[in-house]
Amino acid sequence: MAKNILVTGRPGIGKTTAVAKVVELLSRDGYKVGGFISREVRKGGTRIGFEVVNLKTGEKGWLARVEGRGGPRVGKYTVDLESFETIGVKALERSLIEDDVIVVDEIGPMELFSNEFKNIVWRALESPKPVIATIHWKASRYSFGKSVLSRRDVKVIDLTFANRNRVPFEIYKEVIGKLCSK
């Protein structure tokens, strides 16, 4: 049985929403869940970027934005490595020490510009704690994504319109099973 769960699927299918529901269910039961989620930022109906949110503190910062300057680019977005590492990577480092479950949203092209991110994600996957992560649908095109997907301790769930309402509950039950068997 895999201890790490990776949720994938096409853009906009609800990966972040599914993981946020799992976080809600686990937190309701008293489990300590940490890490980060990423959200779209819109202005006037137009997506202008993505923010990263620390699950424990609510602290927010830019992952990438249209008007960003001086960082790596993915399409029309400039990745804000400093902000991402200050919020997202630090949230993962703290979660590795303090929490029962670690959440990573997402393992994707923007995040993979950060070596600190890759290192902490690998450490989290290697830890005895369950990791719930979203992974970009084209992650296998990147060497780190390939490495994560080829691990024997990961289960990949492809989120679709047909399963997206039940998947959070299935992940919840699976993670509870791992936490209770410790």
Instruction: Give the model confidence (pLDDT) of 143-168 as tens digits.
Output: 999 999 999 999 999 999 999 999 99
- Quote the CA–CA distance of 122 and 168 in Å, as a whole number: 23
| Strand partners of residue 155 | 5
Are 171 and 157 in contact by the 8 Å Cβ rule? The answer is yes
The domain ranges of the chain are 4-35+89-180
What does pTM read for this prediction? 0.95
| Strand partners of residue 62 | 51
What is the reported pLDDT for 1?
A: 56
In this structure, CATH architecture of domain 4-35+89-180:
3-Layer(aba) Sandwich (3.40)
Given a cut of 60, whether residue 112 has pLDDT beyond it is yes
Span 165-175, mean pLDDT? Answer: 97
- Quote the CA–CA distance of 140 and 138 in Å, as a whole number: 6
How many residues would you count in the chain? 182
Given a cut of 90, whether residue 68 has pLDDT beyond it is no
Span 109-138, mean pLDDT? Answer: 96
Span 28-57, mean pLDDT? Answer: 96
Are 107 and 135 in contact by the 8 Å Cβ rule? The answer is yes
Give me the chain's average pLDDT, please: 95
HSE at residue 135, side-chain half, CA atoms within 13 A, is 27
